[in-house]
Structure 1
């Protein structure tokens, strides 16, 4: 039998989808499951966005498009990013991708060779580590500490940098912790990147998801020397409840535009064109749906945090962004994996072990509060029973 390439052993997975499959199987067996495992808004894509996609199909947007994305889509994204970031973003630096993950894939594929080091958040989105190792790079975890609001210790982060450090990944607001990197820390990270000639990938997919009307998103690209070395990863999945549409984009520095466009051509040819037309409608249309969603998430966040903190052996800080809680469960005497399995098989609550997000996630679980208030309340009571 033909053997797989050895690098396949380095390829990880996203546990949310594995847990979802287990939960669905239990539902097929007749068990009631409350889904708090999957990271997607439970709202419908706004009607005006759906209508734009239908019109695009009727208007003949059913053929191949440019590998980097339709010009009108890149122009709309560039205008949106210019308004949000406070500096001019050119459509020439925008590449539209089928979801946000290709921006991670292509950035790491274009930059990382055997032995190159990449600093990444841990706990963090599991695909970072998976792709670094798949490309033969060395994944260097930047530990996010509960004591510092699930952020890195800046002095310890500085000590991780070596002459082999080629890329650093930052994610704020953070998945799975719901934390936000303080502006002063972002500035220090920017200085490190410039001083050591490190490229940065800033995962900003949750940039619309902050709690508090007075909180503004701060991108690492606002600091001197960062625009020419930073990849901004963004997309439509979270802000506009468009996870299934597979529509993301990257804002790439000049030196990465051509190689990443070539990777698009070699891999997926282009992103679905009628979907891109829906993306334009999302950016140029009313933003009330985003605001309404965050008002509801605020209520749910408070409900979940209060509920989790009322459970024996559990303490839960209040998330500042995204739609995840990351409670400390060490007081239960269980490991993260034991807790997640007990919650699913005995309590009928699907959530994720903190170790799904890296070694430093042990002692925690991730709870997505993208579910109804009624279901969230029921989930807390089910966890109370098993504890």
Structure 2
């Protein structure tokens, strides 16, 4: 029997992080001691009070049944309270909040609600690959908005051709940004709102890293800007804030009609997030936030050690205000892929080549700060020995 995959799958580039895992495992199988700065998966444990809340919830048989498609009322109420406290944004938990099985799931599904075959989505590059792949699955096409260092890694909205803007149905943005760690301020978000109003575009802001910030910096929510809720929604996740990547819990908030559209897709595809995990999510959002402060302290220490070390090795890292990534310029005589492969094969160090996130990422690699300080110091010594 001949098995042929659908055309939509043939259009997909290899999923970057899956390929990184394969290459890493190949080198590790050769007996190499691997230091992994690749995928952004926290190495820190989920805080105890969240784990205990899950244990208690799992023991309640009522949590074992199908959850609500939109999420538990208690969790959506909790999200609305958290948004009010954190950002000063008012949300109607019944209409403007939906629970996700991790923010990736919602980002991948939302184009199905609003993109018809042939429609355009405005997608940043370099970027998290799911903005583009979700668009492909919906039969749409991506118009890529380059994120360039000379523009502070913000898309130049004025450079988008009029005919493209007229055809676009959605725009994805992500600040604090993965992979560049760039941040956006109120002026940029205001321009996004004005642009979206002008061309009737739904804005999807991925704010998964808003709580990982350093040196007193506090990232803002897109929804804090006047008119933002009229044009879009914001995706959030408990994964990075509370070290809960494996728990798969996130949420989307904002425009009620957009939330309803996403909910219609989800109700036909999944059966909602496990109620026990949502109850643990309430403990996370409403519990003691010193665990978040401690995460930021640890990542800041790692950031400082890594940045200083990369500089001493002759590289040019960009100091992040937020996220747990360091976006680093590499020597001009090599490519991102070749540089990453050299680090892996000759030094046992896993990084993510910038061009894997999109063509404008060429000339950079990404380091994830999910490695203890002593291993960062070991990695720096290995890089110095390579003489990069």
Question: TM class, shorter-chain normalised?
Answer: over 0.9
Q: Determine which of 146, 149, 166 is the counterpart of 1:146.
A: 149
Q: Paired residue for 2:8? A: 7
Q: Measured at CA, do residues 218 and 157 of structure 1 come closer, stay the same or move farther in structure 2, by a change above 3 Å?
A: farther
Give the corresponding residue for 1:112.
Answer: 115
The answer for the alignment partner of 2:359 in structure 1 is: 359
**2:377 match:** 377
How do 1:155-174 and structure 2 match up within 5 A? 155-157=158-160, 161-174=164-177
2:51 matched residue in structure 1: 50
Question: Is the 1:12–1:127 Cα contact (8 Å) retained in structure 2?
Answer: no
Instruction: Give the structure-2-normalised TM-score.
Output: 0.94
Residue 275 (structure 2) aligned to one of 270, 273, 276: 273
State the match for 1:102 in structure 2.
105
Gaps of 5+ in 2: none
Distance change in 2, residues 1:178/1:289 (3 Å): same
Shift of 1:253: 1.6
Give the SS at the match of 2:179: coil
Measure, in 1, the Cα distance between the counterparts of 2:301 and 2:21.
25
What do you get for the CA RMSD once the two structures are aligned? 1.7
| 2:342 aligned residue | 342
Determine the C-alpha separation between the residues in 1 that align with 2:171 and 2:157.
13
1:160–1:14 CA distance, 2 compared to 1 (3 A): farther
- 2:27 alignment partner in structure 1: 26
What does residue 296 of structure 1 align with?
298
Structure 1 distance, partners of 2:30, 2:208, is 36
User: How far apart are residue 252 of structure 1 and its match?
Assistant: 4.2
TM-score (norm 1): 0.95
- Map 1:327-338 to 2 at 5 A: 327-331=328-332, 333-338=333-338
In the alignment, what sits opposite 1:127? Answer: 130
- Give CA-to-partner distance per residue, 1:95-148, whole Å, 9 cap, x none: 111111111122111111122111122111111112222322221111111123
Retained in 1: the 8 A contact 2:108–2:133? no
Q: CA deviation at 1:302?
A: 1.4
Q: CA shift at 1:89, angstroms? A: 0.7
Question: What's the CA shift for 1:382?
Answer: 1.3
Partner Cα separation in structure 2 for residue 234 and residue 130 of structure 1? 19
Following the alignment from structure 1 to structure 2, what is the Cα–Cα distance between the partners of residues 385 and 191?
Answer: 51
Is the contact made by 1:115 and 1:164 (CA closer than 8 Å) also made in structure 2?
Answer: no
Q: CA deviation at 1:152?
A: 2.7
Match of 2:318 in 1: 317
* Structure 2 residue corresponding to 1:211, chosen from 206, 214, 220: 214
Equivalent pairs, count? 384
1:181 to 153, 168, 184: 184
Gaps of 5+ in 1: none
Greater CA drift, 351-360 or 188-197 = 188-197
